[in-house]
Amino acid sequence: DAFVVSAGCWSPELVRPLGLKLPIYPVKGYSITVPLSEPGRAPVSTIHDDNFKVVSTRLGNRLRATGFVELADFNRDIPGARIATIKKSVQSRFPGCANLDDAETWTGFRPMTPDGPAIIGRGPRDNLFLNTGHGTFGWTLSAGSAAVIAQVIDGEEPAVQLDAFRPGRFSE
Ligand SMILES: Cc1cc2nc3c(=O)[nH]c(=O)nc-3n(C[C@H](O)[C@H](O)[C@H](O)COP(=O)(O)OP(=O)(O)OC[C@H]3O[C@@H](n4cnc5c(N)ncnc54)[C@H](O)[C@@H]3O)c2cc1C
């Protein structure tokens, strides 16, 4: 009865046949995840290293460090130099917490809108809803956004004001 588009950076392609233009661009970042060998040397909470622009966070017995904001379309290459910078940050802030040679590497895309807020609300069809474009904060906002779009689908008053998130704002 109701379709919710939540395809991140791929949402524009998905709705293009409907004549709907969503300005969502993939903004690339990288991470490493590594088991802790000396947990006492690792952060217990999230630490933002402003020198290297790298964020390190604790995931149980592992540490995850992320960084970089790149416009590279959907290129999934993981250059060694990027990973080296992230490792340098971890090594300088939390020396000896892990064997960084054991780190898993990853790259992904933040679905960014030009003005920042996600795109949440009713689309240009009776049964079409949008919950996409969450940019840097998709994990943080996931549960709240899901609750709010469910309220919109049910015709209820959303728990938060959705003006800043309205899908039509880019063509006004
Ligand atoms: C390096 C990095 C660090 C980040 N750190 C944080 C953080 O600390 N906190 C935070 O809140 N957020 C963070 N984010 C952002 C977060 O990852 C994104 O905002 C979030 O993943 C967006 O979720 P999504 O479900 O909208 O899109 P995605 O996670 O991109 O998922 C979209 C899914 O749709 C699928 N799909 C595409 N086309 C179709 C189709 N036609 N049919 C069916 N499925 C389809 C794709 O395969 C994909 O699985 C980070 C992102 C990066 C890159």
Counting ligand 1 atoms within 8 A of each CB, the residue from 69, 112, 139, 149 with the most, and so the one to mutate, is 139
Buried b (16+ CB within 10 A) or exposed e, 130-153: bbbbbbeebeebeeebeebbeebb
Whether residue 146 is predicted with pLDDT greater than 90 in this model: the reply is yes
Whether residue 141 is predicted with pLDDT greater than 90 in this model: the reply is yes
- Give domain limits for the chain: 3-24+113-171, 26-111
Q: What is the rounded average pLDDT for all residues in the chain?
A: 97
46 lines ligand 1 (CB under 6 A): no
78 lines ligand 1 (CB under 6 A): no
Parallel/antiparallel/unpaired status of strands 62-70 and 25-35: antiparallel
Region 77-81 average pLDDT: 98
Beta bridge partners of 104: 33
23 lines ligand 1 (CB under 6 A): no
Q: What is the pLDDT of residue 171?
A: 87
Distance 78 CA to ligand 1 centre (A): 18
132 lines ligand 1 (CB under 6 A): yes
Give the class (CATH, top level) of 26-111: alpha beta
pLDDT bin (cut points 50, 70, 90) of residue 172 is confident
Q: What is the pLDDT of residues 33-59, one digit of tens each?
A: 999 999 999 999 999 999 999 999 999
Beta bridge partners of 30: 67, 107
145 lines ligand 1 (CB under 6 A): no
